[in-house]
Structure 1
Amino acid sequence: MDYLPLFFNLQGRSVLLIGGGDVGLRKARLLVRAGARIALISHEVHPELEELLQEHQGQILGKDYAPQWLEGQAVVIAATDDQALNEQIHADCVAHNLPINVVDSPALCTFVFPAIVDRSPVVIGITSSGKAPVLARLLRAKLETWIPTRYSDLGQLAARFRDSVKARFSNINQRRKFWENTFQGTVAERVFNGQMQEAEQLLQEQLDASDAAEPVGEVYLVGAGPGDPELLTFKALRLMQQADVVLYDRLVSKEVLDLCRRDAEMIYVGKKRDNHAVPQPDINRLLVEQAQAGHRVVRLKGGDPFVFGRGGEELEELKMAGVPFQVVPGITAANACSAYAGIPLTHRDYAQSVKMVTGQLKNRTSELNFAEMAHPNQTLVFYMGLHTLELIVEGLLENGKPPETLIALVSQGSTPEQRVLTGTLADIVAQQEKAQLPAPAIIIVGEVVALQPQLAWFNTSD
């Protein structure tokens, strides 16, 4: 370890900054955020830096550096392009046992500025020990996306309850367990949703009933997208990694399942046509039972849970049972498969509306309004319709869609196994009989399919 990570408390303390240009300004912005008072030495001062000094009780000591300016300083930062001056400042600081940072000169630093993820009171610093600052910034960018900004609110909530929790639990292990449940449970989720009043009330209730009450469970209805794990939302990933129990469908890819918490109980409740591993009423009952047992339950559905996913039915059951829940949307198959196939669902020249339709026809007879679907200038997307492709084509043709209307089948969209078959209403059934593209697949009907050959980008070969 090249550096020992330390955090300075600079609230109300003076920091000597030598150099008032762009680099000095960047350092000054960080310093005032940490509550420091800046003492500046510089011949020229950036206008914004001058404003910072005025707003945060800083001062300009003079134009030229002298060792006496080190007296009373907590930290020293040299942001000049004068190598000889930088070396002198470094030597003087070492002699006075003062922390010194010479910008972009690791050899002249006794401390370095990390890349910072600020979720105060939670602060994360990342350093490459001055060897690869761009890499440190890239890691910071990743952490910024993984850590919700409301972790700041969660930390502040914990600070308000810290003394109460300490008084309630004399044993450090009891306190640790209480906080672990808080930071990973329903209180934290209320905070992340911006429900601060509810979070504070719930935390107080859990603290008051900590000896007697059973832990409160919750259900997270999460859209897993079409298969590519990189299409998951940040919130979906966070909830998947903290769930105690995961109920998942057949269409959830292995790659997505691998991102769930390793020790979570995994329950398969998938459905195929005419073959339901677990009937829907039993799935509803399982969700209620697992949540009432105090578990955090992720109900993981392929695509989006509210687009032909029966998510509404499951939430109705949870609502009647008094089980709290959240919904995390996913990228539905129409959006993902069309994008990965290079078929825009709307286009100024071809289609001004999109209609999403279930192709799962009851008793193999059509209850769909094909007459409405025959209107021009719209794109039709059929879900779960591969096995009824012939009926769909017949219905469209019988209601006035021209035989030359373009159509595409996108099988296993967004995965490495994706295949796309294009044709017309006149020939697509014969093409599919020969190609035998497997389910799951969506069917796209409309003139936008004409763009597929030139816009296809994923899983193509020369």
Structure 2
Amino acid sequence: MLQPLRKPSEAEPERLGRLAKLPVFFDLRGKRAVLVGGTPGAAWKAELLASAGALVDVYATDVCAEMEALIARGASDGCLTLHRLSWSPQILHDAALAVGDFEEESEAETFASAARRIGVPLNVVDKPGYCDFQFGSVVNRSPVVIGISTDGAAPIVGQAIRRRIETLLHPSLSAWASLAKAIRERVMEQLPAGLSRRTFWERFADLAFQGCPPEAMGSSVDTVLRQIASQPVRTVGRVTLVGAGPGDSELLTLKAVRALQAADVILFDDLVSEDVLELARREARRLMVGKRGGRASCAQDDINDLMTHLALQGKHVVRLKSGDPMIFGRAGEEIEHLERAGVPVDVVPGITSGIALASALGVSLTHREMAQSVRFVTGCAKTGRLPDNLDWRGLADPRTTMIFYMAGGTAGAIAARLVEEGFSLDTPAVMVSNVSREDERWAGPLSGLDEASARRDRSKPVIIGIGRVFGRAIQSRREHNPLLALQANA
């Protein structure tokens, strides 16, 4: 039965949520900073301030070995001066900011009161109640600097986040950022605003993330610039088909995130989660072009025409599809349409829901003792019924694991056809809604699949797995894994 059509509709990005702290970057170059204390913690703060170009005056009558060593060797920038004196309010005059490290609460309170009377922003180490600002974890690819704050609640978590980001950013990014700063005015003068300038910086950013320093492209700035600019400027935009995976944003590939961050327009399906969309460039237009069984859907021809129209305007269009775009996603039709129109198109794969199902259940789809192949099968034709041309005899091979997509309404018919071909009614089966997002799960024998499908929430997409590999998971993990809890009595 033909479903009603609907037109693409624009979706507003989510409004910015509450910020525990405002992330700002303070220019301290050539400015005086006061630090009171001689502890190892104070030594770290002194080095951090000086590395930002500050002229750091350290006041302490007793200093630790770390502070002595720091003063002796100096910091990478700015300067450090040790005053073996107790602090007084007078030392805070003309300071850009002040930092104190005190054991006693009364000392911290006195220091904070003195700084606030003068109007100097202050930080008291490990005493957030007296702080106007906090030091977070820092990822240093200067001039790229990333600060991470947990609002003082979990510094260890902040450090773990820093380590994760460090692995994503190659050290050569620092050299590329420095080059960008040096050539920015020249690019602004020589390239017109719009597609030409955007194309140059996109090429620049792509090179910056390839892990090679700019010096690898030539010995001078002019040589590097010529190599970046030598490719002809595109007169049209491009389309990137991106797999959004099964819903969990952490399952996106790095390439998918970069595509979302570079998009001018995003055409997304109903099944794409809000968590995934939150990773997109905030300035990008977002157009829902939902395609859902049993609901009003955008016509595929309209989607094809819209992508082409936007790309021919010079836009970078991301077609964001749930799962993997190349599995039951009509990617082939879209690629053919775009290529006929002369629009460049590339594909970023995603985790298809069949693979996400296996991971969620801890099941190897081709466990060598049970299955030698896996088949991804469409469970629904345009008519809303089972496709007429499925190879049921081949599917009924007990050494094959079957994953049925879009099969919520045809689950009973699938079970019946497999039984006709000799499948046992006791064959293990699973059915999961919104895999990877902690939704409804059912597991049991093939004989119960029809009844489980009848009880499902029809507003949610399901994926069905059938085969011996699911038996071991059901038997060994039913009591311990909520993903496998039987829903028969729900």
TM range (shorter): 0.5 to 0.7
- Given the alignment of the two structures, is residue 449 of structure 1 paired with residue 462 of structure 2, yes or no? no
State the match for 2:398 in structure 1: 374
Q: How far apart are 1:437 and its partner, in Å?
A: 6.3
- Given the alignment of the two structures, is residue 343 of structure 1 paired with residue 361 of structure 2, yes or no? yes
Select 1:226's aligned residue among 246, 257, 268: 246
Select 1:364's aligned residue among 388, 398, 408: 388
Q: Give the TM-score of the pair, scaled to structure 1.
A: 0.65
State the match for 1:245 in structure 2: 265
Question: Number of matched residues?
Answer: 438
Q: 1:50 to 1:365 in 2, by over 3 A?
A: same
Select 1:34's aligned residue among 44, 49, 52: 52
State the match for 1:424 in structure 2: 445
Q: 1:146 to 1:277 in 2, by over 3 A?
A: farther
State the match for 1:9 in structure 2: 28
Map of 1:73-152 to 2, 5 A cutoff? 77-81=99-103, 101-104=123-126, 112-115=133-136, 118=139, 120-123=142-145, 133-134=152-153
Q: 1:183 to 1:117 in 2, by over 3 A?
A: farther
Residues 395, 402 of structure 2: 8 Å contact kept = no
Q: Distance in 2 between matches of 1:140 and 1:97?
A: 31
Residues 246, 300 of structure 1: 8 Å contact kept = yes
Residues 304, 338 of structure 2: 8 Å contact kept = yes
State the match for 2:406 in structure 1: 384
Q: How far apart are 1:285 and its partner, in Å?
A: 6.5
Map of 1:251-266 to 2, 5 A cutoff? 251-252=271-272, 264=285, 266=287
Q: 1:153 to 1:315 in 2, by over 3 A?
A: farther
Q: Distance in 2 between matches of 1:121 and 1:9?
A: 14
Q: Give the TM-score of the pair, scaled to structure 2.
A: 0.62
Q: How far apart are 1:297 and its partner, in Å?
A: 0.6
Cα-to-partner distance string for 1:74-108 (whole Å, 9 max, x where unaligned): 76533232567667877998999987654356787
Select 1:294's aligned residue among 303, 308, 314: 314
State the match for 1:405 in structure 2: 427
Cα-to-partner distance string for 1:360-394 (whole Å, 9 max, x where unaligned): 5885233377479522xx85433234465467546
- RMSD of the alignment, in Å? 5.8
- Give unpaired runs (5+ residues) of structure 2: 1-20, 218-223, 382-386
Q: Distance in 2 between matches of 1:254 and 1:316?
A: 29
Report sequence identity in percent: 29
Cα-to-partner distance string for 1:119-163 (whole Å, 9 max, x where unaligned): 6435576889xxx64399989999999998588677445313223
> Which amino acid letter does the alignment assign opposite residue 383 of structure 1?
Y
Q: Distance in 2 between matches of 1:330 and 1:369?
A: 30
Q: 1:54 to 1:357 in 2, by over 3 A?
A: same
Which fold has the larger relative contact order, with Cα–Cα distance below 8 Å and residues 6 or more apart in sequence? Answer: 2
